[in-house]
Amino acid sequence: MRIQLAKQLLDRQIVDVDGRLVGRVDDIAFDVDEEGYPYVDCLLTGQAALGLRIGGRIGRVLTAVADRFTDDPPVPPLRVALTQIDRVDSVVRLRCPAADLPPSPVESWLRRHLIDRIPGANRASG
């Protein structure tokens, strides 16, 4: 069952309620209930989740690169709770806007240290 679930979810795009791209399903977090039965706890997205899933040298490089672009490494993956998922079809569709999710540490770092320094980056286009 775990393999079938992975085939159905891994690498699918995650989009918010407005159709904005949030990321891809890079891994699946499982937990165990009081009776000892495993269940899907949440979907994980981000370089850290992908690096841990891939493993080996390439996985360590992905994780190290993600850690390099944050102020507080190690970078935790973004956790998307099942309660935030509306449905899964060709993509994973959320029932909330991306703004309701915790910000990606890497994107936050890039915004603070790179994007916000571009002249006019804080002005809305119109």
Tokens for 104, please give them. 């990606």
Q: What is the pLDDT of residue 122?
A: 65
Q: What is the pLDDT of residue 18?
A: 93
Q: How far apart are CA 64 and CA 75, in angstroms?
A: 9
Q: What is the pLDDT of residue 55?
A: 85
Q: What is the pLDDT of residue 31?
A: 92
For Cα atoms 57, 62, 63, give the angle at the middle one, nearest 5 degrees.
95
Q: What is the pLDDT of residue 94?
A: 95
Q: What is the pLDDT of residue 126?
A: 46
Give me the residues of the chain with pLDDT under 50, please: 126
